[in-house]
Amino acid sequence: MRRFAPVVLAAIAGLLLYVTFPPRELPWLAPLSLALFGIAVHGRRLRAGFGLGLVFALAYLVPLLSWTGVDVGPLPWLALAAAEALILAFAGMGIAYVSKLPLWPLWASGVWIADEALRARFPFGGFPWGKVAFGQPSGVFLPLASLGGTPLLGFAVVLCGFGLAALALRVKKVRASGDVRVLRDRGVAAAAAFTVAPMIAGAAAMPLVATGAEAGTARVALIQGNVPRMGLDFNAQRRAVLDYHVRETMKLAAKIKAGTVKKPDLVLWPENSSDIDPYVNMDAYEEIQKAAEAVDAPISVGAVVTDKNGDARNQLILWDPKTGPGATYNKRHLQPFGEYMPYRSFFRIFSKDVDRAGSFVPGKKAVVFDMAGTKIGNVTCYEAAFDDVVRDQVDEGAQILSVPSNNATFERSQMTYQQLAMDRVRAVEHGRAVMVPVTSGVSAVIRPDGSIAQKTGMFEADTLVADVPKRTTKTLATRAGVWPEALLVALGVGGLAWAVVRSRRGRGRAA
């Protein structure tokens, strides 16, 4: 039973980390999860660390990513979870290796962030879903996102957890030695410091999270038109989706005319709100133009278009009520196996569903829309998971961030809530209000401190109208860019290098 105890502990730790993520909001459980995992792998050999890391990762990622199997079955879901779990298992191996070093929670936390950095980039452009930071849309650690982005936020949570593990292990060892002076032990003091310091840092950073308007406010309307039905087949009724969003916008226009709602400065439609190319189909063009003229405000329209080179684009179009379509933003970070299919012929061997994936071409640059004097930074759906894509829009001058999304494909799964948590973390990271217009919900208005001011239900037509602060100051996280991640990765790599040197010296002395 003692041999199986670490396996059980790793599995419990993985499930516990999954529970911290939305639709539940239990961020304080994450350090406890990582403490259990730290105890499970502490002092283990490399092979055991890898195996325990794999058990932990599967218990964590299989339920977390269950939404990827909606409408396409369990094979893609389990394949993705297994691939991501294998990468995370290397973190388990690395953490086990550095756990014999002095101050091991520090090096182990760096190893964890290095592994997250790898998962965010490899394979197929990376898949950052499930970063520890994205399970922290509230709580004491969240303000740290404004200082060092998701890497620092994740590092703080992990360090707290591993510090707690080190504290429990050290207290047990001191007591076993018969020494009653537990509180005077240096190891206990160091472990306690690692546990408490991240929470103190988070509390100290709280006053740095600013929410006030710096360039006035903008009245923003978010349109959630809804879709005819859930799942991948909703695309078969593309015209109906467009009609739904036009209809909801016309309802808003009627309320403005009646004086029950104040006229918005700008209107945001979700991703895929017009899967009919308005440059080619004049009926779609006329419907969007009609809606823009009715509300007398610019609309950001999510459309699927074919450019002059014949390439399919997932595009946002800035639609002016007087001049029609203008500036555009092409989604840059496309979703593999959804918006495009890598190695299509190979993966077709396993599933014919690969032919349902698109053939989109990514954009190349950040584009901020000037909407009636308000600069809107565009981050289309899946892109919210990638640090650099969001940061680029703020660097480009965004005063408000917009994350238009289409979650109808994933029905009522927890995907929508997991993505909304990401958007809340991004708000704090960059000190910007974040607007989330979604075809079928949950649409939301997020304040710069990560709290939700307004939100809709799922699979219902609705409109949100809010006065939103326009902010221009860049947070330290925005200005620092990739450096916090690079430094934390270097910390982990440095710990691994030290462990290698110690191991070789130990073998040399033994010889």
DSSP 8-state symbol, 385:
G
Which of 84, 287, 331, 470 is labelled catalytic? 331
Using alpha carbons, select from 462, 463, 453, 457 the residue that is nearest to residue 423. Answer: 453
The dihedral over CA atoms of 196, 198, 200, 204, expressed in degrees to the nearest 10, equals 180
DSSP symbols for 241-299: HHHHHHHHHHHHHHHHHHTSSPPPSEEEPPTTTB-S-TTT-HHHHHHHHHHHHHHTS-E
* C-alpha span between 396 and 390 (Å, rounded): 10
Which of 131, 381, 429, 485 is labelled catalytic? 381
Whether a cis peptide bond, with omega within 30° of 0, leads into 123 is yes
Active site residue 460: no
Active site residue 381: yes
* C-alpha span between 36 and 5 (Å, rounded): 11
* C-alpha span between 215 and 476 (Å, rounded): 19
Where would I find the beta strands (DSSP E) of 272-427? 299-306, 312-320, 324-330, 368-371, 374-378, 400-402
Burial of 166 per CB tally in 10 Å (0-12, 13-18, 19+)? buried
* C-alpha span between 492 and 138 (Å, rounded): 26
Which of 84, 116, 248, 271 is labelled catalytic? 271
* C-alpha span between 204 and 198 (Å, rounded): 10
Residues in CB range of 118: below 8 A, 6 or more apart: 87
Beta-bridge partner residues of 40: none
Distance, C-alpha 496 to centroid of its chain: 28
Instruction: Kindly state the helix (H) or strand (E) to which residue 217 belongs, with its residue range.
Output: strand 217-224
Structure tokens at 199: 């929470």
* Positions marked catalytic: 271, 331, 381
